[in-house]
Homo-oligomer: A and B are copies of this chain.
Amino acid sequence: MDRVKTFIQGFDDAIGGGVPKGHVVLVCGSPGTMKTSVAFSILYNNVKAGSKGLYISLEESDEDLKGAMQDFGMTGIDDMELYILDVSKIRLEHKEEELNKNWLDIVMKYIEQRVKVNKFDLVAIDSLAGLYSLNKLENPRRELFHFFGFLRSLRATTFLVSEIPGGDDGRLCMFDEDFLSDGVLLLRTIEKGDSDVQLRIRCVKMRRTEHDRGYYPLTRNDGRFQIARTAAQ
Contacts and interface: CB of A to CB of B under 8 A. Distances in A.
Contact of A207 (B68, B173, B196): B68
B165 A176 contact: yes
Instruction: Kindly state the interface size class of chain A when it binds its partner.
Output: 35 or more
Contact of A95 (B32, B146, B191): B146
A92 to B, nearest CB: 5
A98 B133 CA distance: 24
A145 B91 contact: yes
B215 A194 contact: yes
A188 to B, nearest CB: 11
A170 B166 contact: yes
A165 B233 CA distance: 29
14 contacts: A31-B179, A32-B178, A68-B207, A92-B149, A98-B142, A130-B141, A132-B141, A136-B139, A163-B179, A165-B176, A193-B233, A194-B215, A197-B202, A197-B213
